[in-house]
């Protein structure tokens, strides 16, 4: 994997941040993706701007936005390994006269060249309260692969140990896998919260941050240790942090220099803690 990181560095030039397992670039992802020539990425996990007027995006017409999405997704497809995967997180938008809140992936269904395996719903507790509709408490991840017959899925690495009857048997055999149950396609995991006295420990200045634990589950299920991970819309660096924590290598793109700095500080902290843990392990091993 070190060789592939070197090749990417040669193609893209000096990064804004680098360590032994990560390269972070400040720039527009479409241009950067176009410079990568090899099918080197095993997994892409990303959440692009939703085109709803946030501070970090330039709002486009919906046709232009969908065209832009198709362009960068096709670039990701081109540089994905033949047995690789693509996880896409997108939110909801309003369409005048048609929909109050339609999931953006539904508008992209015929523009994505990957093979769709499954829609995964992330359910969380915090959120806005509504009076004329049910309060929204979910986001959607679409799990795509390049080849529907050949892809990674490590179920044993992401099993849920919270089994109601772990020792229940049928015909003398355990009904449940000793490692736990399949976590299903609805993930009930806490959201990254903000605010006085309720802010999550991993909270950064980025306004649309999802938790590391969500990304760790994706990485563990759909890639192997040592694989090269891509996030073309890096934001605060959640995917990069999760990649390093799970023993992967990562390349991230982010157009906003402020968020590149946030991500770089996060990765510095992760690298320091990892090096400290490794040093302590060697110390006790020698002792």
Could you report the per-residue pLDDT of 196-250, keeping only the tens digit for each?
A: 665 556 656 565 658 899 999 999 999 999 999 999 999 999 999 999 999 999 9
Confidence of residue 79 (pLDDT cuts 50, 70, 90): very high
Could you report the per-residue pLDDT of 88-101, keeping only the tens digit for each?
A: 998 888 888 999 88
Q: Which has the higher per-residue pLDDT, 14 or 3?
A: 14
Extents of the domains making up the chain: 2-286
243-265: average pLDDT: 95
Per-residue pLDDT, 279: 53
Q: Which has the higher per-residue pLDDT, 10 or 170?
A: 10
The answer to whether 237 and 270 have CB atoms below 8 angstroms apart is no
The region of weakest confidence among 34-43, 171-180, 183-192 is 171-180
Confidence of residue 71 (pLDDT cuts 50, 70, 90): very high
The answer to whether 219 and 45 have CB atoms below 8 angstroms apart is yes
The DSSP-derived string for 173-237 is: EESS-TT-B---SEEE------STTT--TT--S-SS---HHHHHHHHHHH--TT-EEEESS-TTT
**Residue 140 to residue 136: CA distance in whole angstroms:** 12
Confidence of residue 87 (pLDDT cuts 50, 70, 90): very high
Per-residue pLDDT, 125: 81
**Residue 87 to residue 280: CA distance in whole angstroms:** 35
3-state secondary structure of 249: strand
Report the mean per-residue pLDDT for the chain.
Answer: 88
Say if residue 16's pLDDT is above 60: yes
CA distances from 270 to 60, 158, 246, 264, 277 (A): 36, 22, 11, 10, 11
Q: Which has the higher per-residue pLDDT, 51 or 85?
A: 85
| Domain 2-286 architecture | 3-Layer(aba) Sandwich (3.40)
Could you report the per-residue pLDDT of 141-172, keeping only the tens digit for each?
A: 999 999 999 999 999 999 999 887 777 877 77
């Amino acid at each position: 994997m070190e060789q592939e990181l070197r090749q990417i560095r040669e193609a893209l030039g000096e990064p804004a941040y680098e360590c032994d397992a990560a390269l972070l670039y400040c720039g527009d992802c479409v241009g950067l993706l176009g410079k990568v020539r090899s099918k080197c990425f095993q997994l892409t996990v990303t959440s692009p701007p939703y085109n709803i007027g946030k501070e970090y995006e330039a709002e486009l017409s919906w046709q232009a936005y969908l065209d832009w999405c198709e362009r960068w997704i096709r670039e990701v497809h081109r540089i994905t390994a033949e047995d690789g995967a693509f996880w896409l997180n997108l939110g909801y938008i309003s369409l005048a006269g048609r929909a109050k809140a339609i999931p953006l992936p539904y508008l992209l269904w015929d523009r994505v060249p990957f093979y769709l395996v499954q829609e995964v719903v992330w359910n969380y507790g915090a959120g806005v309260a509504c009076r004329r509709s049910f309060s929204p408490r979910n986001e959607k991840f679409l799990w795509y692969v390049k080849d529907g017959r050949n892809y990674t899925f490590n179920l044993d690495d992401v099993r849920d140990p919270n089994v109601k009857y772990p020792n229940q048997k049928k015909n003398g055999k355990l009904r449940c896998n000793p490692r736990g149950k399949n976590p299903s396609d609805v993930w009930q995991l806490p959201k990254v919260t903000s605010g006085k006295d309720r802010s999550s420990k991993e909270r950064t200045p980025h306004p649309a941050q999802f938790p590391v634990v969500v990304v760790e589950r994706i990485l563990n299920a759909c890639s192997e240790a040592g694989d090269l991970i891509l996030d073309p819309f890096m934001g605060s660096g959640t995917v990069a942090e999760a990649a390093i924590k799970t023993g992967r290598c990562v390349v991230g793109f982010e157009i906003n220099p402020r968020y590149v700095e946030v991500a770089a500080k996060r990765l510095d902290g992760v690298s320091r803690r990892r090096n400290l843990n490794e040093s302590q392990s060697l110390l006790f091993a020698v002792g």
